[in-house]
C-alpha cells in the first residue's frame, strides 16, 4: 500500500467532530474560532460588505 493510500485510509477512519452548540449566536461570517481550555473564542474580524473603517474619538 502506498503512502497516499495509507493517508486516505487514516482520513476515512477519523470520526467527524460532533460540534458545539453556541446559544444566542448566529454564524453569518465567523473568521476565526479557537478553544483554550474551557473557553471558546469566536471572532468576526473581517471587513464585511467593504464597510468603512471604524473611527474613534477621544477627549482630554
pLDDT in tens, 3-18: 988 888 887 777 777 7
Q: How confident is the model over 46-55, as a mean pLDDT?
A: 68
Q: Is residue 8 part of a domain?
A: no
DSSP string, 4-44: HHHHHHHHHHSPPP-----TT---SS--EEEEETTEEEEE-
Q: Is residue 3 part of a domain?
A: no
Q: Is residue 33 part of a domain?
A: yes
Q: Is residue 26 part of a domain?
A: yes
Domains contained in the chain, number? 1
**Whether pLDDT at 58 is above 80:** no
The percentage of the chain sitting over the pLDDT mark of 70, rounded to a whole number, equals: 78
Distance, CA of 12 to chain centre: 23
Q: Is residue 41 part of a domain?
A: yes
- Torsion angle (degrees, nearest 10) of CA 50, 25, 18, 34: 60
Claim: this prediction has a pTM higher than 0.85: no
Range of the domain at 38: 18-45
Amino acid at each position: 500500500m502506498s503512502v497516499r493510500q495509507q493517508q486516505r485510509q487514516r482520513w476515512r477512519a477519523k470520526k467527524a467532530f460532533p460540534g458545539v452548540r453556541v446559544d444566542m449566536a448566529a454564524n453569518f461570517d465567523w473568521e476565526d474560532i479557537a478553544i483554550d481550555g474551557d473557553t471558546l473564542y469566536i471572532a468576526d474580524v473581517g471587513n464585511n460588505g467593504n464597510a468603512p473603517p471604524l473611527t474613534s474619538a477621544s477627549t482630554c
